[in-house]
């Protein structure tokens, strides 16, 4: 791992609005399950699954390798997220100019695979904080039996992680509906086939990571078929919460910590679910998961603050 830049490494600032079509792509990527996201987009706001991808937005717009240079052996274009810790601090308007900053903090090798940890922060044109993220990405999908376990950059314990934004909760317009949430409540989504067409429509013609949309690239990387992006899989849980609790419910301080533990292949089926494990005066906590045809795909937790008085 010595060939990588010294860490931590500041990334180049990325400015400007998100690419055209990302909000519509989020709707199309959900197929028949898009009611919650559709309602939010009709308000002129960016869906939370798009906000989950701000680290990828930043990384995909970094200066490219010199022409003619070779990619690192086993590298995946765009990476594959294995964990995302993200907070949605405030709603983002569609077409709003943005400033996205970030740092590559650490890289490590474990059991023959390479990983990277990147933090990012997205602010609006007026300087308000919109999204903060800590993303762990798999940099090489194929295992390398000769790759030794190693660490580079700052220690895992020193990473400044995002968390629930309690002050942002005061502006949540869905407070009345959130106040009715009860402990033990289960919000399940319908079993849905995630088609290749849905995956391609979600990307709206972009090529940030073609293993999600191009069968030939997926095969080259040793995959049986293209796999859905992590934020795409998470969106099936999020749209269900938004449908039940209101379109903006997640955009005022909600924090997600999710791990992707299995691949969602094109044309496979998923079932999303959220179970309320905390329902107090200051927060709602949910355990979330997505199940596939024969394995678990996603596990995680969400904390949605209700007041500005949490810890």
**Cβ partners under 8 Å of residue 42, min gap 6:** none
What's the pLDDT band for 297 if we cut at 50, 70, 90? Answer: very high
Range with the lowest mean pLDDT among 3-12, 149-158, 252-261? 3-12
Tell me the pLDDT tens digit for each residue of 26-78: 999 999 999 999 999 999 999 999 999 999 999 989 987 554 444 444 444 44
Query: Do 268 and 193 contact (CB within 8 A), yes or no?
Result: yes
Model confidence at 4, pLDDT cuts 50, 70, 90, reads low
> In this model, does residue 198 exceed pLDDT 90?
yes
pLDDT-derived band at 3 (thresholds 50, 70, 90) equals: very low
Residues 84-98 have a mean pLDDT of 97
In DSSP terms, 299 is beta-bridged to 259, 289
- The residue count for the chain: 311
| Chain center to CA of 8 | 22
* Torsion sign, CA atoms 50, 53, 56, 58: positive
- Tell me the average pLDDT across 114-130: 96
pLDDT at 169 over 80: yes
What rounded mean pLDDT belongs to the chain? 90
pLDDT category at 214 given cuts 50, 70, 90 is: confident
Angle (CA) 183-287-265 rounded to 5° is 140
Backbone angles phi, psi at 93, to 5 degrees: -80, 140
What pLDDT, on a 0 to 100 scale, did the predictor assign at position 266?
Answer: 95
- Which pLDDT tens digit goes with each residue over 123-149? 998 999 999 999 999 887 678 889 999
User: What pLDDT, on a 0 to 100 scale, did the predictor assign at position 64?
Assistant: 72
Mean pLDDT of the region 283-292: 97
Instruction: Delineate the domains of the chain, giving CATH numbers in brackets.
Output: 9-305 (3.10.129.10)
The pLDDT of residue 138 is 87
For helices 230-245 and 35-42, the axis angle rounded to 10 degrees is 80
Tell me what percent of the residues of the chain surpass a pLDDT of 70: 91
pLDDT at 295: 92
Q: What is the mean pLDDT of residues 267-281?
A: 97
Per-residue pLDDT, 213: 86
pLDDT of residue 73: 41
Average pLDDT estimate for 230-247: 97
What is the pLDDT, as a whole number, of residue 81?
A: 83
Least trusted range by pLDDT, from 131-140, 154-163, 217-226, 255-264: 217-226
């Amino acid at each position: 791992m010595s060939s990588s830049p010294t860490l931590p490494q500041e990334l180049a600032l990325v400015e400007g609005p998100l690419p055209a079509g990302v909000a519509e792509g989020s709707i199309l990527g959900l197929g028949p399950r898009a009611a919650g996201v559709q309602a939010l987009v009709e308000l002129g706001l960016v869906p939370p699954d798009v906000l989950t991808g701000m680290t990828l937005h930043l990384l995909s717009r970094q200066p490219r390798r010199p022409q003619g240079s070779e990619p690192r052996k086993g590298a995946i274009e765009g990476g594959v997220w294995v964990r995302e810790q993200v907070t949605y601090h405030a709603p983002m308007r569609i077409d709003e100019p943005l400033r996205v900053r970030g740092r590559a903090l650490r890289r490590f090798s474990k059991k023959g695979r390479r990983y990277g940890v990147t933090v990012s922060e997205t602010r609006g044109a007026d300087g308000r904080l919109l999204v903060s993220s800590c993303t762990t990405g798999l940099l090489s999908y194929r295992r390398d039996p000769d790759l030794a376990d190693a660490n580079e950059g700052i220690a895992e314990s020193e990473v400044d992680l995002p968390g629930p934004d309690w002050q942002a909760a005061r502006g949540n317009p869905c407070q009345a509906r959130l106040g009715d949430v009860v402990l033990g409540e289960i919000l399940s989504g319908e079993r849905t086939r995630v088609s290749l067409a849905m995956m391609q429509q979600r990307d709206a013609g972009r090529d940030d990571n073609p293993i999600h949309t191009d069968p030939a690239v997926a095969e080259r990387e040793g995959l049986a078929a293209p796999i859905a992006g992590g934020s795409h899989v998470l969106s099936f849980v999020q749209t269900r919460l938004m449908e039940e609790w209101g379109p903006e419910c997640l955009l005022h301080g909600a924090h997600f910590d999710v791990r992707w533990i299995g691949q969602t292949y094109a044309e496979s089926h998923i079932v999303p679910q959220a179970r309320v494990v905390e329902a107090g005066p200051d927060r709602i906590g949910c355990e979330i998961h997505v199940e596939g045809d024969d394995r678990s795909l996603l596990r995680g937790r969400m904390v949605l603050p209700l007041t500005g008085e949490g810890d």
